[in-house]
Amino acid sequence: MRVLPEPEWRARAAAHGARIRLITGPHRDRARRGEAHPVLDFLFTYYSHRPARLERWHPGPGIVLAGAPDVPGYHRVEGGMVLDPPERVRRTAAFVRELLVATASRPPQLSCFGMHEWAMVYRSAEVRHAAWPLRLGAAGTDAVVEALPVRCTHHDAFRFFTPEARPRNALQPIRADQLALEQPGCLHATMDLYKWAYKLDPATPSELVVDCLELAVEVREWDMRASPYDLTALGYEPVRIETPAGRAEYAAAQTRFAERAAPLRQRLIDLCDTLLDA
């Protein structure tokens, strides 16, 4: 057990609040205005952790908060309060560890070029972000899907493919394939580090949750810049994956994101080990 003096943990809690509100604050403002955002809403809709939960600071397991009042989910020990992770967190940790270790064991694949977003609108009269035009139009978008290979390894992206796009994918991933297919070059696998961090809430140190969320924000912005939508009015310059230069740009970004994700993935694995050994 490590004891955090009250001034130290209160300062960390305050710093966390200021940092996370840079993300939750604009989201709350948009929600009050009834304003949808095709890029950033994803972090609060597809990912389901509520802003109020994000703003609540937790130190992680094995940390005694000196001078802390009684808090639900914590128990009192000599010197202060310590987190008491619920059993469901320990059960979740077993799966999360297995998945993240498997993912880390593989080399990144850099040949998907973000085609998943294009496959989600292929030959469809309905698009997910109907308020925003397709950069190449419907026919141009379909032509790109037909001209380039589709190599999505992520089940939760693949399940949103249109029926016409599914047979074009090199794989037909299902949920049961996740442990066998997840790989660190996938932008969705990198964003999902945020999901695994909050799935272990309240055991995940809040600083780690925000580290994962901040990376997910950057990855999501890149993901949508490479999508078929024209989002220049929001300040997102397109990554033109229909061109060789755009595909090279996308693969370079995948490499950078995979490198940045690796230490976060390891921190989550270490957290799972702590929870499973407790």
pLDDT tens track for 241-254: 999 999 999 999 99
Range in 22-26, 63-67, 86-90, 231-235 with the lowest mean pLDDT: 86-90
Q: Which residues contact 10 (CB under 8 A, 6 or more apart)?
A: none
Query: What mean pLDDT do residues 118-146 have?
Result: 96
Strand duo 63-65 + 2-4: pairing? parallel
Residue 146 main-chain phi, psi, to 5 deg: -80, -20
Predicted confidence (pLDDT) at residue 278 exceeds the cutoff of 80: no
What's the confidence (pLDDT) of residue 82? 96
Do residues 47 and 192 lie in contact, with contact meaning Cβ atoms separated by under 8 Å? Answer: no
Do residues 211 and 84 lie in contact, with contact meaning Cβ atoms separated by under 8 Å? Answer: no
Q: Which residues contact 131 (CB under 8 A, 6 or more apart)?
A: 36, 38
pLDDT category, 86, cuts 50, 70, 90?
confident
- Average pLDDT along the chain: 96
Tell me the one-letter amino acid at 126.
Answer: E
pLDDT category, 211, cuts 50, 70, 90?
very high
The Cα–Cα gap between 234 and 243 comes to 22
Break the chain into its structural domains and give their ranges.
2-277
